[in-house]
Amino acid sequence: MMLTLDQVTKTYRTGTLGGGSFTAVDRVSFAAGKGEVVSLIGESGSGKSTIGRMVLGLTPVSSGALTLDGRPVRGGREYYRRVQGVFQDPFSCYNPVFKADRVFAMIRHAYHPRVPAGEWAARVERAVRDVRLDPGAVLGKYPHQLSGGQLQRLLIARALLLDLTFLVADEITSMLDASTRIDVLNLLADLKERGLGVLYITHDLSLGTYLAERTVVLRRGRVVERGDTQRVFGNPRHPYTRTLLASVPRLGAPWTEADPVTECAFHAAGGGGAGALRETEPDHFVACAQLPDCGRNAA
Ligand code: ADP
Ligand code: MG
């Protein structure tokens, strides 16, 4: 399994007459393989959910190539067997008048109509246990009778009943309390062990970031830095990444301003034009911090 984004761009039409346009995602490239968690981090409005929706085939790519195993992503039933999304607000994903088991019945109807009822019930039970829930305690309940963490896990269980290979997790822990958040992250770690690829979208440096072997830092639709998580956060080269790191509160540590950038890592490594990234060490890419003025400053 390999999900690849190559110079992916999304331009939304804006204005009542559709005359304007806004580039929410600008030439973004990264890839995620089997059992790999990639975290996509950036402040609100940086284009993270747009990338998630494109990966899910819910919104078309304006330019560039988005492929799963070499084939362009277009959505559709066969695609959704393999790729699913879980979102911030688990309540919004459930119809309030359906009990939880109805959600699973709908999956059977849509994806596994030939599976006999008895076998389907056994599969549902296994999936629910896999997300560490007690089937007897959750299946007969309405969404309002379940907690946010339980709904989130049921969504993951639902995804497990498909032939899931890739999960888009968009701010899934933002609305959960600290202990439930850790439970859901442990669950993601289990899924990763089973070989599932995950795009972990987050607006802050949360615990989930540490599950990811790769990190993509997004700012205003552009990748400013990406690569091996340890290298990106251990040796951040872009001022925006440094600011993100400096904004993580540390117990006992006084708040300090990120170090001023004394050299542009991008041009120090011989970087090119806007939108390009430079590999400053193996699997650690950085964009220019000062384009379009950087070259002039350096001269
Ligand atoms: P994030 O998830 O990082 O907060 P989004 O991908 O939701 O960012 O949004 C990125 C930018 O694109 C924002 O400025 C947002 O207002 C804009 N945007 C998102 N969806 C649409 C849309 N359907 N039409 C126009 N602009 C949109
Ligand atoms: Mg979002």
- Please, what are the domains in the chain? 2-286 (3.40.50.300)
Quick: pLDDT tens for 61-117.
999 999 999 999 988 888 988 999 888 777 666 777 788 888 888 889 988 999 999
- On the CB side of 160, how many CA atoms lie within 13 Å of its CA? 24
Confidence class for position 275, pLDDT limits 50, 70, 90? low
Q: Once rounded to an integer, what is the mean pLDDT over residues 185-208?
A: 88
Amino acid 196: pLDDT:
92
Amino acid 299: pLDDT:
38
- Helix 148-160 and helix 100-111, axial crossing angle in degrees, nearest 10: 20
Q: How many residues does the chain have?
A: 299
Task: Judge whether 11 and 21 are in contact, CB under 8 Å.
Answer: yes
Q: Once rounded to an integer, what is the mean pLDDT over residues 193-213?
A: 88
pLDDT, greater one: 86 or 120:
120
- Ligand nearest to the CA of residue 18, numbered in listed order: 1
Q: CA–CA separation, 169 vs 18, rounded Å?
A: 31
Q: Which atom of ligand 1 is nearest to the CA of 49?
A: 2
pLDDT, greater one: 87 or 126:
126
Q: CA–CA separation, 79 vs 238, rounded Å?
A: 36
SS (H, E, C) the chain: CEEEEEEEEEEEEECCCCCEEEEEEEEEEEEEECCCEEEEECCCCCCHHHHHHHHCCCCCCCEEEEEECCEECCCCHHHHHHEEEECCCHHHHCCCCCCHHHHHHHHHHHHCCCCCHHHHHHHHHHHHHHCCCCHHHHCCCCHHHCCHHHHHHHHHHHHHCCCCCEEEEECCCCCCCHHHHHHHHHHHHHHHHCCCEEEEEECCCCHHHHHCCEEEEEECCEEEEEEEHHHHHHCCCCHHHHHHHHCCCCCCCCCCCCCCCCCCHHHHCCCCCCCCCEEEECCEEECCCCCCCHHHHHC
pLDDT, greater one: 272 or 41:
41
Amino acid 33: pLDDT:
94
Amino acid 271: pLDDT:
64
Percentage of the chain beyond pLDDT 70 is 86
Tell whether the model's pLDDT for residue 263 goes beyond 70. Answer: no
**153 Cα to the center of ligand 1, angstroms:** 27
Tell whether the model's pLDDT for residue 20 goes beyond 80. Answer: yes
Tell whether the model's pLDDT for residue 224 goes beyond 70. Answer: yes
**Hey, what are 149's tokens?**
């963490």
| Ligand 1 atom 20, closest CA | 50
Quick: pLDDT tens for 148-179.
888 888 888 888 888 789 999 999 888 778 88
Q: Over the chain, what is the mean pLDDT?
A: 86
Tell me which residue of 56, 57, 52, 58 sits closest to 25, measured CA to CA: 52
User: Which residues are near ligand 1 (CB < 6 Å)?
Assistant: 12, 14, 22, 24, 42, 44-50
Rg (CA), the chain: 21
Q: Which of 102-106, 191-195, 255-259, 282-286 has the lowest mean pLDDT?
A: 255-259
Percentage of the chain beyond pLDDT 90 is 47
Q: Once rounded to an integer, what is the mean pLDDT over residues 243-270?
A: 63
Quick: pLDDT tens for 23-39.
999 999 999 999 999 99
Instruction: Name the residue of 8, 14, 22, 54 to mutate for ligand 1: max ligand atoms within 8 A of Cβ.
Output: 22
Amino acid 297: pLDDT:
45
Q: CA–CA separation, 256 vs 286, rounded Å?
A: 23
Q: CA–CA separation, 281 vs 279, rounded Å?
A: 6
Q: Which atom of ligand 1 is nearest to the CA of 52?
A: 6
Of the chain, the end-to-end C-alpha distance in Å amounts to 45
